[in-house]
Amino acid sequence: MYQKEARKHENSLICEHIVPIKGFVECEDDACNCGLIGIVMKYMENGSLWDFRTTKWQQHPDLLPLTNRMVYEMSSGMYFLHSKNIIHRDLKLENVLVDGDLQVKIADLGLATNLQTSFGDRCWGTDSHKPPEAFRTDLPNSTKIVTPKYDVYG
């Protein structure tokens, strides 16, 4: 998200399954005029769900209950975003973070878009996590409408 979008969503995206924004890092050089250069978010001790899955997953004694809970938490976070008309557009294990209590939270809303203001928006995101319709060449970009289904495929 750009600076204006990030600041707009700072207080509106408060959900236990979304990594909270704690603040912003801004360039203090008036000559630079580059504005926002970073978003400060809650520290998530276990890194991404991708990292957790590849390094610590097998160490957990109850994998099925853990998996079920993590899927529920991810789904709850996405449901919350979609209820606010926000599409993540880059949902993948690398953008889901795991805290010290093994709770998962959705992160990296840099490509997120608001459904109410982005009609006909392009299909952004990581190619390997995009839905098949994002690659259709027989449709003009204006008909490749991003919907909540876009995130579900991720």
What 3-state DSSP class applies to 8? helix
The H or E element that residue 74 is part of is: helix 63-83
End-to-end alpha carbon distance in the chain: 19
* CA–CA distance, 90 with 124 (Å, rounded to integer): 7
Helix residue ranges per DSSP H, the chain: 3-9, 49-55, 63-83, 148-153
Query: 90 catalytic, yes or no?
Result: yes
Strands (E), 70-125: 86-87, 96-98, 104-106, 113-114
* CA–CA distance, 58 with 74 (Å, rounded to integer): 20
29, 30, 90, 101: the catalytic one is 90
**CA angle (129 as vertex; 140, 39 as ends), nearest 5:** 100
Active-site residue set? 90
